[in-house]
Amino acid sequence: EPEVTQTPSHQVTQMGQEVILRCVPISNHLYFYWYRQILGQKVEFLVSFYNNEISEKSEIFDDQFSVERPDGSNFTLKIRSTKLEDSAMYFCASRRGSDYTFGSGTRLTVV
Amino acid sequence: GESVGLHLPTLSVQEGDNSIINCAYSNSASDYFIWYKQESGKGPQFIIDIRSNMDKRQGQRVTVLLNKTVKHLSLQIAATQPGDSAVYFCAEPHPPWGGATNKLIFGTGTLLAVQP
């Protein structure tokens, strides 16, 4: 069964450092998303990406965040200067029609 | 406004019993709902969905019921097994399917703990 792949599974970074979270969506999917889940809380939408541009972003997705789909395969989330409160699980998802599939997530810990 | 929430944060059941997880929504225009299962350290996994033109939908050991009058849906798991232990979320796309965004709005989640 096709799946969304995320790397790394765990990332520890120092406050102020840049991190790049990587995702390989399902190949024939057209819509791509990043979500965040702070420990013990619900999954929150960050950003959606379609046709090589951001289609919507949440209030969380400020100027420190950016997304790219550099090569038609990978879909990345960059956090320019990490803060302690960025510590969370980050989930990538891709969608075609009503088939909405999540990856297993990257656990980001900012110290 | 957009709001999907759960009544019970934790549900503890005995193996073999049936489980019922509830979810309330606030937008009467909502027309599609999804239940996700999230095991520890993993991403949300699709379980079952239902459109607003249906009251009930059955899958393998799972049934989703939708009551549009009171804006409530439930997930029923028959003969609950230890492998069912997870957090269960209801979610709905916003805006309803058809837009380029269709972000999912998740409820708070219910932890289902199955006792052997």
B44:A91 CB<8 A: yes
Number of other residues whose CB lies within 10 A of the CB of residue A12: 13
Q: What residues in B contact A33, CB-CB < 8 Å?
A: 103-104
Q: Which residues are CB-contacts of A74 (< 8 A; sequence separation ≥ 6)? A: A22, A23, A24
pLDDT of residue A13: 98
Rounded to the nearest angstrom, the minimum Cα separation between B101 and chain A is 6
- Chain A residues interacting with chain B (CB cutoff of 8 angstroms): 4, 31, 33, 35, 42-45, 48, 50-51, 55-56, 58, 91, 93, 95, 98, 100-105, 107
A45:B41 CB<8 A: no
Instruction: Please check the confidence at residue A110 and state whether its pLDDT lies above 60.
Output: yes
Which helix (H) or strand (E) is B92 found in, with range?
strand B86-94
- Start-to-end CA distance of chain A, whole Å, equals 36
Low-confidence winner among A22-26, A28-32, B37-41, B97-101 (lowest mean pLDDT): B97-101
CA nearest neighbour of A95 among A68, A75, A109, A81: A75
pLDDT of residue B97: 63
B101:A35 CB<8 A: no
CA nearest neighbour of B91 among B28, B44, B40, B39: B44
B43 in helix, strand or coil? Answer: coil
Domains of chain B: 4-115 (2.60.40.10)
Peptide bond into A25 cis (omega under 30): no
Rounded to the nearest angstrom, the minimum Cα separation between B79 and chain A is 26
Instruction: Please check the confidence at residue B6 and state whether its pLDDT lies above 60.
Output: no
- Phi, psi (degrees; rounded to nearest 5) at B84: -80, -10
Question: Which of A43, A54, A56 to probe the B interface (max B CBs under 10 A)?
Answer: A43
CA distance B36 to B109: 9
A48:B101 CB<8 A: yes
CA nearest neighbour of B88 among B50, B52, B51, B34: B34
Q: Which two tokens stand for residue A74?
A: 């990978």
Domains of chain A: 5-99 (2.60.40.10)
Q: What is the mean pLDDT of chain A?
A: 94
CA distance B16 to B79: 4
> Nearest 5 degrees, angle CA B1-CA A51-CA A105?
65
Question: Which of B92, B102, B111 to probe the A interface (max A CBs under 10 A)?
Answer: B102
pLDDT digits (tens, 9 = 90+) for B14-57: 999 999 999 999 888 888 999 999 998 889 999 999 999 999 99
- Phi, psi (degrees; rounded to nearest 5) at A86: -80, -10
